[in-house]
Structure 1
Amino acid sequence: MLLHRTITGLAAVIVVSLPVLTGAPAQAKGGDDGVRRSGTCSGSTDWKIKAKADDGRIEVEAEIDSNHRGQTWRWVLRHDGRVAARGHSVTAGRSGSFEVERHVSNAPGSDSYRFRAVDVRSGEVCVARVAR
């Protein structure tokens, strides 16, 4: 009985410690909701990016949150290094943010996405990356 409790306790410690032992980034999250990452830009703005499977394609959502309405941002979304979309967006709403959502092809193997946004007035730069 003591051996059974010891093995059970050891298994629990290993399961709880696994993310620490593997060096999984704290800001990355996987599962049914896809892979999410978040971070800060070159100034006080925050970014978020998510990639998840959606009907044989990958849905990529990127958000820029500056807490200031009316800012114009120029952005580019890259998929495996190639431009998948580009445009301009203006921060709006109470949060002073904007979101870009695109559905891109699901290439064989791992896919990487890079979202880069630049505030056209201040020059602040945001670079968000996620791999799926």
Structure 2
Amino acid sequence: MKRCVTVAVVALSLTAVTPARAAAPATDRGADSIIQRGACSDGADWRLRVQLVDKRLEVEGFVDSNRRGQRWRWVMKHNGSVSARGTKKTVPPNGTFRVTRRVVDIQGIDDLLFRAKHAGQVCRGVVNY
């Protein structure tokens, strides 16, 4: 009987400490790249990939809204400063767009942000590389 109580207490304490995984973006790490994925505020999905290419960081922001012809405003920030911004239209066949830029690989940890907005919907991803 004592063993069952101990197992139940451990199981309950692990459940209370473990955060919900659905809300957190997924992260994939390769040899020289990090990919974050997540959901936007209203049904679209985003992806942010950062990888080292020729001693610079290649930053790729991607949005999949499944709706062709939407105009999205986007911005990329590197350590809090705007590196690039613009507008992109989702293209057939899947209603996606992609933005790729290269930034200087600063010594230490680089904080990279990609944000895109369309009609009140917001997509936001951050990678620390």
Counterpart amino acid of 2:47?
Answer: K
**Which residue number corresponds to residue 122 of structure 2?**
125
Counterpart amino acid of 1:35?
Answer: I
What aligned pairs does 1:86-105 form with structure 2 within 5 A after superposition? 86-105=85-104
What aligned pairs does 1:40-51 form with structure 2 within 5 A after superposition? 40-51=39-50
State the superposition RMSD in angstroms: 1.3
Query: Which structure is higher in strand share?
Result: 2
Structure 1 segments (4+ residues) deviating >3 Å:
none
**Which residue number corresponds to residue 4 of structure 1?**
none
**Which residue number corresponds to residue 105 of structure 2?**
106
| TM-score, scaled relative to structure 1 | 0.77
Unaligned runs of 5+ in 1: 1-24
| TM-score, scaled relative to structure 2 | 0.79
What aligned pairs does 1:29-40 form with structure 2 within 5 A after superposition? 29-40=28-39
Q: Could you tell me how far 1:32 is from its partner in structure 2?
A: 2.4
**Which residue number corresponds to residue 56 of structure 1?**
55
User: Do the aligned partners of 2:51 and 2:58 also contact (CA within 8 Å) in 1?
Assistant: yes
For these two proteins, the number of residue pairs brought into alignment is 106
Counterpart amino acid of 2:46?
Answer: W
Q: Could you tell me how far 1:40 is from its partner in structure 2?
A: 0.4
